[in-house]
Amino acid sequence: MSYPRTRMRRMRSDDWMRRLTAENTLSVSDLIWPLFVHDGCGEEAVASMPGVARLDSDGLWRAAEQALSLNIPAVALFPVISEEKKTSDGAEAWNEKGLIPRVVSGLKSRFPELGVIVDVALDPYTSHGQDGVINDAGMVLNDETVSLLRRQALTQAAAGADIVAPSDMMDGRIGVLRDALEAEGFSNVKILSYAAKYASAFYGPFRDAVGSAGTLGKADKQTYQMSVANRREALAEMRLDLEEGADMLMVKPGMPYLDVVREAAYVFDAPIFVYQVSGEYAMLCAAAANGWINADLCMVESLLAFKRAGACGILTYFAPQAAALLNQ
């Protein structure tokens, strides 16, 4: 019996060899920790996201200290706005004394070395739960919304945000934001565009966390978020956003769209980020809680998959757990 001269298993036979020949690696420097912040007191657990809570300012400072102790480079902030402050136009989004400007300023004064990313979108602030203003027929108005996003982003930049991250999927908003930031002296503020944000069913726990699920009701976001069936459209969105001045591009959700991450990383000479969204996180937590999977191994494997596909930054609620493991 003849045997193959090339035995692929030779290179897998020892741990040191597997590490030496690994094509991709996951490090703490790849992680961004999404955090929910509210205007009340104390922490409020998010039932659909085990281990995740809505934080008050003191809780946010503690989370920032933890992030720095673990060498996590940046946090991404998402506001939980009280119902009485929500309006049809989301005006609280550009309130200079509002929740996000206050906590951004507090973070940058206390932890200047920690990167702070802020969401540019109106849905946490609107009484109807959409990412923009709507007409009487319920249609989200693109250009009118973009003018409001401009005000929101400038307010966030003035508070000290390092990165503004438009997640609203309005056409042309990157160019408007870039021009506004440059004109107002915020040329170093970076834009992370949610260029390929799909109208996904995996956002449910997030909407529970920020309180937009109730306001959105039975409405959906299909007229502005991308069809889950499309790939080429994502590349077109990304190309337009780069031309308009985006510094980084986001694919959201993550695991169901690894093909989009891979192609974007191949096509564009720009950093590609990916968001392991709330539904992905909740599914892994539920399976682990039932003893069906190994929590740590599946967590790391899922994150490494994003790196293998070509992402250089990963927003994940697993950030502190993953960082603790990777720092060992």
What is the set of active-site residues? 197, 252
Could you give the CA distance from residue 120 to residue 145 in angstroms, rounded to a whole number? Answer: 11
Could you give the CA distance from residue 55 to residue 57 in angstroms, rounded to a whole number? Answer: 7
Place of tokens 């959700």: 253
Distances (CA, A) of 205 to 9, 118, 261: 42, 19, 23
Could you give the CA distance from residue 248 to residue 8 in angstroms, rounded to a whole number? Answer: 37
Could you give the CA distance from residue 211 to residue 175 in angstroms, rounded to a whole number? Answer: 29
Distances (CA, A) of 275 to 1, 13, 155: 51, 34, 24
Task: Count Cα atoms within 13 angstroms, Cβ side, for 51.
Answer: 15
- Tell the burial category of 303 from Cβ atoms under 10 Å away from its Cβ (0-12, 13-18, 19+): buried
**Residue 238, helix vs strand vs coil:** helix
Helix pair 232-244, 258-267: axis angle to 10 deg: 50
Distances (CA, A) of 72 to 40, 98, 277: 26, 26, 18
Place of tokens 């506004």: 180
The phi, psi pair for 313, rounded to 5°, reads -145, 140
Determine the number of helices (DSSP H) and then strands (DSSP E) in the chain: 12, 10
Residue 15 CA, distance from chain mean position: 34
Q: What is the total residue count of the chain?
A: 328
| 229 token code pair | 């069936």
